Amino acid sequence: MPTPSEFASHEQLILPLDPEAALEAIFSRVFRRLSLRPPEPVFSVEFRPFSSLRSSIRLRDHRAEVRVADLLAEAPPIVLEALAEILLTQLYRRRASQEARACYLAYITRPAVRQRADAVRRERGRKRLLPPRGRCYDLDEIFRNLNARYFDGEMAPVRIGWSPHRSRSILGHYDSAHGTITVSRWFDSPAVPRYLVEYLVFHEMLHIRFPVERNGHRRVVHSRPFREAEKNFPHYEKARRRLVRMAQLC
């Protein structure tokens, strides 16, 4: 597997006319290179119009069904080989090499690829939010208040609202493609103190200020500047402790 630096210096290679057949050959070659448990399955690969860069693989009666986002159809063969290693090692409960993970991540975090991915998510995906004014808290009002207090009013307005479901696993989420902030409806309750809802919104606003970074083969969602800025919230420690207690009661 070439290193990320070698990947960066390679020109786009030309795939055969049938990209799915070419990808099947890549999976077969990677399977043999990794010396995975025989017998080798028959690979069936399809590019699918997903709304994200996700890909999947599953094994059925010696047939490996692979579904790859069509956004990756024009990726260089070296990137598709890295993806094949990542999916195959997941399937066979092995760990993908650092080189494969770094190579794939280097490609999907390129600005041009991210821009295409965000455009596709906006076009194909739907973002369902409940109105920001809930039974107890108005997220629009909280966003404006936090924007004035901590961001000098400079953060552009975003679409913000409550989640359709009372999720206890995803408490808040910033979607860069749709420009939305979602807060779990679980927190729209008189039993939840205002500072906790403010903390959740503040946390997602920081994701706007500090986008995801890349460190080698890892995506850094909460960078050091993010963590330092988060501690500026006056009830930071109390909010974190409260969230831990609430999770333990679930």
pLDDT for 250: 59
Measured between its terminal Cα atoms, the distance across the chain in Å is 44
Assigned CATH class of 4-124: alpha beta
213-227 pLDDT, tens digit per residue, is 877 667 788 999 999
- Measured over all CA atoms, what is the biggest interatomic distance in the chain, rounded to whole angstroms? 62
Nearby residues of 68 by Cβ (< 8 Å), 6 or more positions away: 23, 45, 46, 47, 48, 55, 83
Q: Residue 233's closest CA among 161, 168, 142?
A: 142
128-152 pLDDT, tens digit per residue, is 899 999 999 999 999 999 999 999 9
What percentage of residues in the chain have a pLDDT greater than 90? 67
Please give the order of strands across the beta sheet that includes 55-60. 42-48, 63-69, 55-60
Residues of the chain with CATH 3.30.2010.10: 139-249
Over range 50-64, report the average pLDDT: 92
Claim: this prediction has a pTM higher than 0.85: no
User: Is the pLDDT confidence value at 12 over 70?
Assistant: no
Q: Which residues of 169-185 are buried (b: 16+ CB within 10 A; e: fewer)?
A: eebbebbebbbbbbbbb
CA distance 49 to 44: 16
The mean pLDDT value of the chain amounts to: 88
pLDDT for 93: 94
Instruction: Provide the 3-class DSSP secondary structure of residue 85.
Output: helix
| Residue 17 or 67, more confident | 67
pLDDT for 63: 95
pLDDT for 244: 87
Assigned CATH class of 139-249: alpha beta
Over range 41-57, report the average pLDDT: 92
pLDDT for 14: 42
Over range 82-91, report the average pLDDT: 96
CA distance 207 to 217: 20
156-206 pLDDT, tens digit per residue, is 999 999 999 888 888 999 988 788 999 999 999 999 999 999 999 999 999
User: Is the pLDDT confidence value at 16 over 70?
Assistant: no
pLDDT for 64: 96
CA distance 148 to 125: 31
Strands 42-48 and 63-69: parallel
